């Protein structure tokens, strides 16, 4: 293969749409711009949501209500099967999981889930543990300890 043999992949190159080349071209007369009006003119661009000066829909709708999303407790999910990389009899907590790379991000603790099989006896310390994960850990002779964090105190005004 040489440089003069290289070709783009089929379908990668398109012909330029030639506007205003007569009615039979399919892009004649209005050249794909529809009828008359603001959008038919050259240099026209209307921002998203603009309704020609009428009060836009997003501003007409009342803004009320409350959303609890910012107060939700989000935990990092770690499967029981992933804990096999620790040595037998090891103490597995959030810092150990982060050092191995199983728990990344700024969340509110770690939850151990029951996917996978555990083959080692471990002492697991986490914010939350599913029932199936707890059963699998204890079946291998390990122990489960649940640790709760205190929520940050709100700032005083």
**Fold (topology level) of 73-146:** Ribosomal Protein L15; Chain: K; domain 2 (3.100.10)
pLDDT along the chain (157 residues), means of 10: 94 93 92 91 91 94 89 94 94 95 92 95 96 96 88 63
Q: What pLDDT shows up at residue 83?
A: 95
Q: What pLDDT is attached to residue 153? A: 61
C-alpha 68: how far from its chain's center? Answer: 19
> In the chain, what are the domain boundaries?
73-146
In this predicted structure, what is the pLDDT of residue 150?
A: 64
Interatomic CA distance for residues 25 and 32, integer angstroms: 11
Nearest Cα residue to 97 out of 122, 117, 119? 122
């Amino acid at each position: 293969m040489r440089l003069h043999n290289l070709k783009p992949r089929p379908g990668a190159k398109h012909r330029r749409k030639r506007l205003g080349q007569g009615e039979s071209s399919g892009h004649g007369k209005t050249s794909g711009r529809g009828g008359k009006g603001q959008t038919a003119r050259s240099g026209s661009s209307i921002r998203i949501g603009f309704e020609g000066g009428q009060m836009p829909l997003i501003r007409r709708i009342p803004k009320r209500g409350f959303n609890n999303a910012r107060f939700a407790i989000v935990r990092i999910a770690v499967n029981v099967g992933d804990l096999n990389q620790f040595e037998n009899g090891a103490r597995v907590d959030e810092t150990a999981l982060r050092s191995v790379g199983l728990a990344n991000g700024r969340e509110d603790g770690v939850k151990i889930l029951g996917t996978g099989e555990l083959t080692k006896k471990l002492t697991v310390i986490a914010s939350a543990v599913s029932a199936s994960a707890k059963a699998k850990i204890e079946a291998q002779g390990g122990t489960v300890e649940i640790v709760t964090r205190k929520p940050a105190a709100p700032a005083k005004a």
